[in-house]
Amino acid sequence: MRILVVEDEVKIAQFIKRGLKEEGYAVDVAADGEEGHFLLSSNEYDVIILDLMLPKIDGLTLCRTLRKEGNHTPIIMLTAKDTVKDKVKGLDSGADDYLHKPFAFEELLARVRVLLRKKDSRVQTQLKVENLTLDLLTHKVTRGEKEIELTVKEYALLEYLMRNAGNIVTRTMISEHVWDINFDTFTNVIDVYINYLRNKIDSGFPDKMIHTVRGKGYLLKK
């Protein structure tokens, strides 16, 4: 899952980014509304965390613009304003949720999860491909009776592969959804992590699930 944080206060932006990355999300940060609009016009995101008071283009204007352009990505609006009138303005502009500063990161994370569940029409809490299961709430991964320990990045990569099971995913697709905008596409990091997953997911099982499609990308076979 890829999240865009549009926040001009550096400390808050980095605090949110660090916390979300620790939970396995790919996170990009924009320091003003104009940069945020540019990133949203050239990348696909699953959730937008949008500050109300921004330079160049404020949060309300950016939110309205996105909705007029047909961008329906879920938006959590952050603001220091806490009046009912301000909340109504934020929600009427097209935001899906509204969070007052200062906030606990756990609350922000819970709200992100709620929006992701709403975005996914299947409202699933578990991914299952054959005998491979990934629990989206506990992050527990099992294949058959075997519990598999994964790092945060391995988990994020496996989740993306499982959500696209049966389809080839390219390195570009993986980098956009599992890493962030600063990912160096000339490195072999993706190949390295695919091998890490293979060693954990396929080791000890006669049927291999993770396959390389030469010249195209990777495939998690159903």
Q: Which helix (H) or strand (E) holds 174?
A: helix 171-178
pLDDT in tens, 47-93: 999 999 999 999 999 999 999 999 999 999 998 877 677 777 778 88
pLDDT at residue 150, as a whole number: 94
> Sign of torsion, CA 56 13 193 149?
negative
Domain boundary among 66, 98, 119: 119
**What is the biggest distance separating any 2 CA atoms in the chain, rounded to whole angstroms?**
61
- Same domain? For 107 and 131 the reply is no
- Same domain? For 109 and 23 the reply is yes
Return the DSSP state at 72.
-
Give the whole-angstrom CA distance, residue 3 versus residue 47.
5
By residue range, what is the domain housing residue 32? 2-119
- Same domain? For 105 and 47 the reply is yes
- Same domain? For 86 and 147 the reply is no
How many domains does the chain divide into?
Answer: 2
Domain boundary among 94, 119, 144: 119
- Same domain? For 91 and 191 the reply is no
Could you tell me if 71 and 49 are in contact, meaning their C-beta atoms sit under 8 angstroms apart?
no
- Same domain? For 101 and 15 the reply is yes
- Same domain? For 152 and 47 the reply is no
- Same domain? For 96 and 200 the reply is no
Backbone φ and ψ for 27, nearest 5 degrees, come out as: -130, 130
- Same domain? For 21 and 100 the reply is yes
Give the residue from 41, 51, 42 showing the smallest Cα distance to 15.
51
Could you tell me if 29 and 48 are in contact, meaning their C-beta atoms sit under 8 angstroms apart?
no
Query: Domain with 183 in it: what CATH number?
Result: 1.10.10.10
- Same domain? For 111 and 165 the reply is no
- 115: Cα separation from own chain's centroid: 11
pLDDT at residue 71, as a whole number: 93
Domain boundary among 119, 135, 168: 119
Query: Domain with 71 in it: what CATH number?
Result: 3.40.50.2300
Give the whole-angstrom CA distance, residue 190 versus residue 78.
33
Residues of the chain with pLDDT under 50: 122
Put simply, whether the predicted model's pTM sits higher than 0.95 gets the answer no
Q: Which helix (H) or strand (E) holds 65?
A: helix 59-68
Give the residue from 52, 139, 133 showing the smallest Cα distance to 97.
52
